[in-house]
Each structure stands twice: as C-alpha cells, then as structure tokens.
C-alpha cells in the first residue's frame, strides 16, 4: 500500500507551484483530481510543444492526475465542486488572491462545512498586506525576494535557469499538506494553510539575509564563484574547459596545496592560510591555481582532484545531465504514458526501500470528466447537459 493511498486531493491549479505540490502527492499514491478550464485547460499546457507536441512544464508536473474540466463561474460548476469536496481530504488552489472567496469557496467557509478538510492556498505574496493583489510570476518573485540581486555576474543580474520561486513554493505546500494530514491523524481536525511565493523563496534567502543585515554589506554577484568562500568556482584547464572546485575547510586547503598544486608552502602562506585571507587575495591566488591547471587537461585535473579528495565538478549541459552515468547506475529513470506516447520520467528524490512511486499517465484535457461526474452521482443525461451548457 502506498503511503497516501486513500487520500483524495481536489485541486484548482494552474502553472507550476500548485501542480508541483499535487504531483508529489500523486507520486505517493494520492488520488489527485485536477480541475481545469473547459477546452483549453491549464494554461501551462500551452507554454511550449517541445515534448512531442506537449508542453515540457505540463509533462513534468501532471502525471498520475485525473483531469476534470469545470467552469466554476456557473452554478452547476460550483455544485459539482461542492460534491467533490464532500469526500475530499485535501483542497488546494493557486488562483489569484480572493478568486475562490468570490466563487463561494473561501477557506474559512470550507473548513466550517468540512471540518476534516486540509485546505491549502498558494499565492504570490500572501492573503494580506500591501502586495496581496500584486501579480506574481517566478521571475518577478526572484526580483522581489532579492534572489536575482545575488545571481549573475557583477554587471548583469540574472534569474535562475529553473523556476526556483515556483519550486520552493510547491515544496512547502507539499510538506505543509503532509504535516496537516499527520496532525489530522491525531486530532481528526482539518486545517487551513497558506504558502506564498515570496515567503517560500525568502526561506532560501537565509544566508544572504543574515550576511547583509548583520555584516553590513550586501553579498556580491560573483557569477559561478562564491560570495564569501575561495577557492570556490570555475578554473580554466589547458584544454580551455572549466573545472569547478570547492575548498570548504583548512584540511582540504592543505590537501589541495600539497597534492594538486604541488606547493606545500602555500598552506601557511600569510595571504592564504585561512578562508578570509584567501577570499581577500583571490586575484593572486587564482593566477597560482590556473598556472598549474593550464598545464593539464580538464580530465587530468579532475582525476587529480578526485585522488586528492577535493570536491569538483564538470560544467554539464542539460543533455549531459539527462545522460548522467550516476542516474543510469542508480536506475533513476522510468517511463510514463501520455497522449503523445511513452516519455521518460525521473524518480522523485526521496528513495524508499519498499515504495515505488506512482507513474500513471499524463492526462488529456478533461480526460476523466465523465467518470468523475458519474462517481458523484450524475447521469449521462446530466453530463450531456453540462457539455451543452459549457459547464464542462
């Protein structure tokens, strides 16, 4: 039996953060009913067509879900959602702030009507405060949180290449829902939780926040290097490829000087004997390191770093990651069915000794509408009328 088998999640979701949270619940066996707009569905279905005609975001976020199309602005649509919530364990929504309240599904009203329901609302900036109704997308929250001020080169602030604000929010919604379900097992009570994108990414801003507030100086944008540790980042090898290294402590620095640079005297050199001094004098130290590195190929350097116990990495492309030998050796790839055929899917990061996550198909828009409506008591005639009236 899967950990969340028997848990039903009803989700009025779109884009990334909400679907990321519910997909992880589905991975562990929850039944996730995804409510989408009639005809076009979740707008993330149309971000691109890179995956054999399907959008890469949608493929990533929506396996193992049932798709129900529903116009929640109609009385019939609201009635259908009400029926679904009677047997639901979790209700999640990530519409604009106030949208569900205007539809008659405010969190407090729902909890009063369904005392054991776990209710999760996802928003950009939270349910109160001056930014409540400000539109929020991943890039914009990276800006507002200060994350973009840390990312990129000295000249050019850059957003992260992956949607870190959305992903952080989805993760905290997922863990918050699991926490609420655990609490419900003890007291049989439902709960209301809200997760905002700003506060989720704000948690990830812990180190730079402390550094800036108490250190009296903003961390600098340093590209692929570290704002406070050195050597930490890319160095050019003789074949003009970059090798990335990280020295975290004095033991590693000693090893690096003796076994990689071949210069034990550097260990206690007054300019480099601790991280503060190494960081302060990084320009001269970089020249010393790259003088050695330029005499070898990147592969030779990586072999030497491995032998010396120094953390290192190659700069992989996305396809290098897809074909990573470690993922292959650990059998991390699975297949998931979809409207465009079988697709690769990566196992979730949490690996259990006796649980295989669910990899059920990615749904077409409204694929499960008829079956879901029949399961809550609607007849074929009812469903036909809903379709004619564009309720579904």
Same-domain check for residues 185 and 68? yes
299 belongs to a structural domain: yes
Question: pLDDT value at position 228?
Answer: 87
Same-domain check for residues 355 and 304? no
Same-domain check for residues 249 and 113? no
The whole model's pTM is what? 0.93
Measured torsion, CA atoms of residues 292, 298, 303, 304, in degrees rounded to the nearest 10: 10
Question: pLDDT value at position 227?
Answer: 84
Same-domain check for residues 306 and 190? no
Q: Which residues pair with 90 in a beta bridge?
A: 9, 118
The residues annotated as belonging to the active site are 226
- What are the residue ranges of helices labelled H in the chain? 17-27, 56-61, 75-86, 99-102, 107-113, 138-144, 147-150, 164-187, 197-204, 206-215, 250-255, 275-280, 282-293, 298-308, 318-322, 325-329, 369-375, 380-388
Residues making up the chain, counted from first to last: 392
Q: How far is CA 48 from CA 51, 58, 69, 333, in A?
A: 8, 9, 21, 23
3-state secondary structure of 312: strand
Same-domain check for residues 38 and 127? yes
Question: pLDDT value at position 18?
Answer: 98
128 belongs to a structural domain: yes
Question: pLDDT value at position 186?
Answer: 97
Q: Can you give the residue range of the structural domain that contains 183?
A: 8-204+328-388
Q: Which of 314, 345, 371 is the last residue of a domain?
A: 314
The Cα 220–Cα 203 span in angstroms is 19
3-state secondary structure of 178: helix
User: How wide is the angle at C-alpha 138 spanned by C-alphas 137 and 144, nearest 5°?
Assistant: 90
Question: pLDDT value at position 300?
Answer: 96
Same-domain check for residues 40 and 125? yes
CATH number of the domain within which 161 lies:
3.40.50.10540
Same-domain check for residues 21 and 121? yes
What's the rounded mean pLDDT across residues 225-233?
92
pLDDT bucket at 3, cuts 50 / 70 / 90: very high
Q: Which of 290, 314, 338 is the last residue of a domain?
A: 314
Nearest to 94 by CA among 123, 135, 66, 136: 123
Question: pLDDT value at position 170?
Answer: 98
Same-domain check for residues 171 and 193? yes
Same-domain check for residues 273 and 354? no
The Cα 106–Cα 119 span in angstroms is 10
Same-domain check for residues 21 and 112? yes
Same-domain check for residues 181 and 272? no
Nearest to 201 by CA among 17, 61, 19, 58: 17
Same-domain check for residues 161 and 268? no
- In the structure, how many helices (H) and strands (E) does the chain have? 18, 11
User: How far out from the chain centre does Cα 227 lie?
Assistant: 24
322 belongs to a structural domain: no
Tokens matching residue 129 = 């405060």
213 belongs to a structural domain: no
- pLDDT of 1 strictly over 90: no
* 92-135 confidence digits (pLDDT tens): 999 999 999 999 999 999 999 999 999 999 999 999 999 999 99
99 belongs to a structural domain: yes
Measured torsion, CA atoms of residues 83, 84, 89, 95, in degrees rounded to the nearest 10: -110
Q: Which of 262, 292, 314 is the last residue of a domain?
A: 314
User: How wide is the angle at C-alpha 267 spanned by C-alphas 261 and 272, nearest 5°?
Assistant: 100
- The total number of structural domains in the chain stands at 2
């Amino acid at each position: 039996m899967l950990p969340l088998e028997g848990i039903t999640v009803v989700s009025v979701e779109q884009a990334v953060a909400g679907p990321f949270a519910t997909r992880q619940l589905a991975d562990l066996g929850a039944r996730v009913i995804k409510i989408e707009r009639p005809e076009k569905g979740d707008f993330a279905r149309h971000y691109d067509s890179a995956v054999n005609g399907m959008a890469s975001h949608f493929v990533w976020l929506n396996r193992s879900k049932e798709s129900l199309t529903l116009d929640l602005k109609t009385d019939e649509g609201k009635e259908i959602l009400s029926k679904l919530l009677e047997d639901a364990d979790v209700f999640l929504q990530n519409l604009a702030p106030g949208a569900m309240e205007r539809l008659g599904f405010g969190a407090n009203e729902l909890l009063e009507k369904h005392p054991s329901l776990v209710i999760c609302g996802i928003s950009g900036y939270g349910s109160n405060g001056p930014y409540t109704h400000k539109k929020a997308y991943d890039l914009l929250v990276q800006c507002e949180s200060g994350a973009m001020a840390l990312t990129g080169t000295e000249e050019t602030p850059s957003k992260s290449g992956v949607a870190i604000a959305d992903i952080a929010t989805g993760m905290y919604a997922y863990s918050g829902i699991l926490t609420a379900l655990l609490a419900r097992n003890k007291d049989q009570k439902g709960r209301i939780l809200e997760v905002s994108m700003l506060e989720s990414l704000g948690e990830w801003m812990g180190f730079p926040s402390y550094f800036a507030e108490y250190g009296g100086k903003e961390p600098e944008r340093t590209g692929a290097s570290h704002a406070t540790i050195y050597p930490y980042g890319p160095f050019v090898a003789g074949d003009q490829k970059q090798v990335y290294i990280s020295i975290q402590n004095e033991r590693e620095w000693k090893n690096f000087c003796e076994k990689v640079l071949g210069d034990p005297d550097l260990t206690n050199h007054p300019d480099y004997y601790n991280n503060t001094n190494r960081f302060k004098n990084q320009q001269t130290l970089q020249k010393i390191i790259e003088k050695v590195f330029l005499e070898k190929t990147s592969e030779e350097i990586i072999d030497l770093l491995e032998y010396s116990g120094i953390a290192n990495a190659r700069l992989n492309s996305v396809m290098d990651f897809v074909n990573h030998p470690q993922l292959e050796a650990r059998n991390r790839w699975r297949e998931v069915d979809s409207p465009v055929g079988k697709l690769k899917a990566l196992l979730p990061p949490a690996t259990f000794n006796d649980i295989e996550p669910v990899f059920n198909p990615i749904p077409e828009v409204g694929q499960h509408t008829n079956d879901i409506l029949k399961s809550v008591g609607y007849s074929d005639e009812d469903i036909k009328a809903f379709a004619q009236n564009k309720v579904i």
